[in-house]
Structure 1
Amino acid sequence: MRIGIVSPVVVRLPGVHSEWEREAGMDDLARIAETADRLGYHHLTCSEHVAVPAAVAAERGAVYWDPLATFGYLAARTRRIRLITQVLVLGYHHPLAIAKRYGTLDRVSGGRLTLGLGVGSLKEEFDLLGVPFEGRGARADEAIAALRAALSQREPEFHGEFYDFSGFVVEPHAVQPRVPLWIGGRTPRSLRRAAMYGDGWVPFGLPLETLASMVREADLPDAFDVVLAAGRPVDPQAAPDAARRALERVRDAGATVAGVTVAATSADHYREQLEALHDLATAMGAGFGRTDG
């Protein structure tokens, strides 16, 4: 099992983020990213919301940094760690727009992009952007197929019900021959979608026991990633046994990648926590230093 970091600062979820993140900036995150990169953590994350309705901001959080701008900067400050959109909402973008923008990021980062993709659930945001909310699942399925056809191609071609393109040059495009696609969701359909079209599944909002059962019962492809969150923020310095148990629980539930939120009081403390977590996880046999997938 590899360990990735649910990036601080760029997303502030109620009840999860730490107070220091309110005043933190890009350099704080970049120093954390450099430490995670040096230690061999698998990935950093950045999620997407264009605009969150004020009525639900207290529940969903209001701070969502743009992943493309964020990762463009972090790509220049790191060398190995993967950059994972967790997640982009497929309905907000034409597949070729994703292929161009994030294909450029893949080139800028030296082939370190993983695209985490989701169907989306915030109807008000769909309405704001003028994209259809109803039928978004079918559109998302086709968008994933179109992305697979387009991401690493100079002259992509795809013909479907919602997306149809050929005879266009997309340059630059992704340098990875196959950009990993992780599909987010919380339903059996999302897992089927991930197994059919993607390279991994990033579930959320379900008990770990439910996720473990879904993973056991699924027919998953070889080298398929199951990316499970380790739960509440871990504190490997003050509570190493609890941090170890959190990693063991997701490993035993079938995770190939653990997504970890780290408790800290400052950016420097966060970096110290990454050192402690690295030592703890290494003793468990967790993988560090890989950059594939």
Structure 2
Amino acid sequence: MRIGITTPVVVRHPGASAEWERTAGIEEIGQVAEAADRLGYHHITCSEHVAVPVEAAEQRGGAYWDPLATLGYLAARTTRIRLATKVLVLGYHHPLAIAKRYGTLDRVSGGRLVLGLGVGSLKEEFELLGAPFEGRGARADEAIAALRAALGRRVPEFHGEFYDFAGFVVEPYAVQERVPLWIGGRTARSLRRAVTHGDGWVPFGLPLDTLSAMVRRADPPGGFDIVLGPGRPLDPSGSPEAAERALEAVRDAGATIAGVHVTAESAGHYCEQLEALHALGTKIGIVFGDADD
């Protein structure tokens, strides 16, 4: 199992984000990314919302850094850690727009992109952006297929019900022959979508025993990523035994990658916690560095 970092600051959930994140900016984000890169963590993340209704922001937060700008900056401050969108909302973009923008990110980062993709659930945001909300699942399935046909190709071609293109040059384009596509969600349908169209599943909001049972029933193929989190921040310095148990529980649930965040009082403390988590993870057999690259 590998460990990836749920990047602090870039998303602020009420009651979940640390106080220091309220006033932190890109320098602190970069400091954390550099530490995670140096220590051999698998990935850092950035999520997407364009505009969150005031009422919804009280529950899910209103601060969401743009993933393309943020990960582009972090690409320049790191050398090997993967850059993961977690997640882009497919309905907000044409597949070729994603292929162009994030294919460029893959190129400038030397092939470190992971595209986390989701169907989306915030109806008001869909309406604001002029994106169809009804039927978004079917559109998302086709968008994933269109992306698979487009990423890494100069003249992509795809013919479907919602998306149809041929004879257009998209350059620059991704340097990876197969950009990993992680599909987000919390339903059996999202897992089927991931197994059918993607390279990994990034669920949220469900207990580990439920997730483990879902993964066993789906019987994903070899090489398929299951990205699970412990459900709470880890404190590897203050409570190493609890952090170790949490990582082992994630691994026992079937995770190939643990997506974690740690408790911290500052960006510097966050980096110290990453050092402690690295030492703890190494002891229990977590893989760090370039072993799977």
Q: Same fold (TM over 0.5)?
A: yes
| Structure 1 equivalent of residue 98 of structure 2 | 98
- TM superposition shift of 1:278: 0.2
Q: CA contact under 8 A between 1:81 and 1:291: conserved in structure 2?
A: no
| Structure 2 equivalent of residue 133 of structure 1 | 133
Tell me the C-alpha RMSD between the 2 structures. Answer: 0.9
| Structure 1 equivalent of residue 250 of structure 2 | 250
| Structure 2 equivalent of residue 232 of structure 1 | 232
The count of corresponding residues between Structure 1 and Structure 2 is 293
| Structure 2 equivalent of residue 159 of structure 1 | 159
Q: Give the structure-2-normalised TM-score.
A: 0.99
Structure 1 residue ranges without an equivalent (≥5): none
- TM superposition shift of 1:201: 0.2
Q: Give the structure-1-normalised TM-score.
A: 0.99
- TM superposition shift of 1:292: 5.0
| Structure 1 equivalent of residue 25 of structure 2 | 25
CA deviation map 1:254-289 (0-9, x unaligned): 000000011000000000000000000000100101
Q: C-alpha distance in 1, partners of 2:57/2:251?
A: 32
| Structure 2 equivalent of residue 107 of structure 1 | 107
Structure 2 residue ranges without an equivalent (≥5): none
- Secondary structure of 1:279 counterpart: helix
| Structure 2 equivalent of residue 290 of structure 1 | 290
- TM superposition shift of 1:141: 0.1
Query: Match for 2:187: what amino acid?
Result: T
Q: CA contact under 8 A between 1:88 and 1:118: conserved in structure 2?
A: yes
Q: C-alpha distance in 1, partners of 2:287/2:219?
A: 24
| Structure 2 equivalent of residue 216 of structure 1 | 216
Q: C-alpha distance in 2, partners of 1:176/1:292?
A: 15
Percent identical: 75
Q: C-alpha distance in 2, partners of 1:292/1:227?
A: 15
- TM superposition shift of 1:290: 2.7
| Structure 2 equivalent of residue 278 of structure 1 | 278
Q: C-alpha distance in 2, partners of 1:221/1:269?
A: 39
Structure 1's 54 and 292: CA in aligned 2 closer, same or farther, altered over 3 A? Answer: farther
CA deviation map 1:166-220 (0-9, x unaligned): 0000000000000000000001000000000000000011111100000111121
Query: Match for 2:126: what amino acid?
Result: F
- TM superposition shift of 1:158: 0.1
Q: C-alpha distance in 2, partners of 1:280/1:114?
A: 26
- Secondary structure of 1:184 counterpart: strand
Q: C-alpha distance in 1, partners of 2:224/2:66?
A: 27
- TM superposition shift of 1:89: 0.2
- TM superposition shift of 1:56: 1.0
Query: Match for 1:274: what amino acid?
Result: L
Structure 1's 99 and 291: CA in aligned 2 closer, same or farther, altered over 3 A? Answer: farther
Q: C-alpha distance in 1, partners of 2:261/2:274?
A: 10
Say whether 1:193 aligns with 2:188. no
Q: C-alpha distance in 1, partners of 2:221/2:249?
A: 23
- TM superposition shift of 1:291: 7.2
Structure 1's 12 and 291: CA in aligned 2 closer, same or farther, altered over 3 A? Answer: farther
Q: C-alpha distance in 1, partners of 2:291/2:109?
A: 12
Q: CA contact under 8 A between 1:96 and 1:150: conserved in structure 2?
A: yes
| Structure 1 equivalent of residue 177 of structure 2 | 177
| Structure 2 equivalent of residue 35 of structure 1 | 35
Query: Match for 2:19: what amino acid?
Result: E
Q: C-alpha distance in 2, partners of 1:291/1:153?
A: 27
- TM superposition shift of 1:110: 0.4
| Structure 2 equivalent of residue 207 of structure 1 | 207
